[in-house]
Amino acid sequence: MAKIVVVTSGKGGVGKTTTSAAFASGLALRGYRTVVIDFDVGLRNLDLIMGCERRVVYDLVNVIQGEAKLQQALIRDKRCESLYVLPTSQTRDKDALTTEGVTAIMDELRKEFDYIVCDSPAGIESGALMALYHADEAIVVTNPEVSSVRDSDRILGILAARSRRAEQGEEPVKEHLLLTRYSPKRVEGGEMLSLEDVKELLHTPLLGVIPESEVILQASNQGIPAVHMDHSDVAEAYKDMVARFLGEERPLRFVQPVKVGFFKRLFGG
C-alpha cells in the first residue's frame, strides 16, 4: 500500500515545489515507484521544475472532471523509470478540485505506487487542505525566518486537526521538519534564525537542512530536480534527507559556515 506524503508550509515561496521534485526523484532513484502530484491549481510549477512541461496533455483537473483517464495524465519522468508526474491545470482555479475526485485518484494511485508525493500550494485554504487531507506523513518546509516558522506552526496544527487521519481518529500524520534555504553565514551574522532556534520553536523531528545555493536556480531553469545536480551541496543534502526519511541515519551537513582559507582571505576570493 502506498504512503502519501504531503510537502507543505503555509507560507509561499519557501521551497515546497523544489523539495517535492527533489524528494520524489530521490525516492525513485532508490527504486521506489513514486508519483508526484501538483496541487497548486492555476500556477503549474512542478512540471517546469521536473522538465516535463512540453509533455503535459491532460492534468489533475481533467481527471477529476472525468475528461481524461488517470493513465492519460501521468507523465513518466525522463530520468527515473519509476517516477511519474501528475501535473495540474494552469487555466482552472482552486475550486476545480473536489474532495471525492481527489479521494478517487488517491485510491487508484495507492494500488500502483509505493509513494505518492503531494506538492501543496501555499496558504491554508482549500487547495492546501486538499493536498494534506490524505497524508500519512508530512514534510513541513520552513525557511529560517520568523514568518515562515509561524506559518509552519499553523500548518502543523491544521495537520493535527483537519487531515483524514485526524478526522477518523487514526494515528496522527507523521510530521517532519525540513529547513531549506539555510545560510550558516547569515545565521552567524544574526540575520537569520538558527537551526536550534527553529527546532526549539517547532518541536518537530528534523528531516534535514538544505543550504541556500544558486545551484537551485540553475536546476530549475534547466528543469532538473536538484538531486540530479551532481557534486553540489543541495543534491547531497536532498539525498541525505531521502535517506533519513527511509529510516537511515545520516549526520547533518552544511550547517556550519564554510571556513574561508587564509590565502583566499588575503587575496580576496
Partner 1 sequence: MANPPASSAETGAPLRLSGGVFTLSILHLESADPRQLAQRITEERQRHPAAADFHRHAPIVLDLSAIPEEAPLALAEILQVLRAADWFPVGLRNAAPRHQALAQEQHLPILRGQERGIAPHSQPEASPVLAPIAQGSLLIDHPIRGGQRSYARGGDLICLAAVNAGAEIMADGNIHVYGPLRGRALAGVNGQEEARIFCANLEAELVSVAGLYRTLETNHPLWGQAAQIYSRDEQLHIIPLNL
Ligand X SMILES: Nc1ncnc2c1ncn2[C@@H]1O[C@H](COP(=O)(O)OP(=O)(O)OP(=O)(O)O)[C@@H](O)[C@H]1O
Q: In whole angstroms, give the CA distance from residue 8 to residue 133.
A: 11
The grid cell for 91 is 487555466
181 binds Mg ion (CB under 5 A): no
The grid cell for 188 is 552567524
* Residue 66, C-beta contacts closer than 8 angstroms, at least 6 positions apart: none
143 binds ligand X (CB under 6 A): no
Shortest reach from residue 160's CB to partner 1, in Å: 7
**Rounded alpha-carbon distances, angstroms, from residue 114 to 27, 28, 232:** 9, 10, 28
**Which region, judged by CB under 6 A, interacts with ligand X, from 61-69, 76-84, 216-224, 249-257?**
216-224
Task: Look at residue 180 and give the partner it binds from partner 1, Mg ion, ligand X, none, a contact being a CB closer than 5 to 8 Å depending on partner kind.
Answer: ligand X
Q: How many residues bind partner 1 (CB under 8 A)?
A: 11
Annotated binding-site residues read: 11-18
Q: In whole angstroms, give the CA distance from residue 144 to residue 15.
A: 12
**Which region, judged by CB under 8 A, interacts with partner 1, from 72-80, 156-164, 212-220, 230-238?**
156-164
Taking CB under 5 A as the criterion, the residue among 9, 17, 204, 220 binding Mg ion is 17
Which CB atom, from 118 or from 202, has the smaller least distance to partner 1?
202
* Residue 122, C-beta contacts closer than 8 angstroms, at least 6 positions apart: 9, 10, 11, 12, 13, 16, 128
Taking CB under 8 A as the criterion, the residue among 150, 164, 174, 199 binding partner 1 is 150
> Do residues 29 and 225 lie in contact, with contact meaning Cβ atoms separated by under 8 Å?
no
**Rounded alpha-carbon distances, angstroms, from residue 230 to 124, 212, 247:** 35, 16, 23
> Do residues 90 and 43 lie in contact, with contact meaning Cβ atoms separated by under 8 Å?
yes
Instruction: Enumerate residues 26-45 that contact ligand X by CB under 6 A.
Output: 40, 45
**Which region, judged by CB under 5 A, interacts with Mg ion, from 10-18, 195-203, 234-242, 246-254?**
10-18
The sign of the dihedral angle between the CA atoms of 42, 48, 54, 59 is negative
Shortest reach from residue 17's CB to Mg ion, in Å: 3
Taking CB under 8 A as the criterion, the residue among 36, 75, 118, 156 binding partner 1 is 156
16 binds ligand X (CB under 6 A): yes
Q: In whole angstroms, give the CA distance from residue 33 to residue 80.
A: 10
Shortest reach from residue 11's CB to ligand X, in Å: 7
**Using CB under 5 A as the criterion, which residues of the chain lie in contact with Mg ion when the complex forms?**
16-17, 45
**Using CB under 8 A as the criterion, which residues of the chain lie in contact with partner 1 when the complex forms?**
150, 153-154, 156-158, 160-161, 201-203
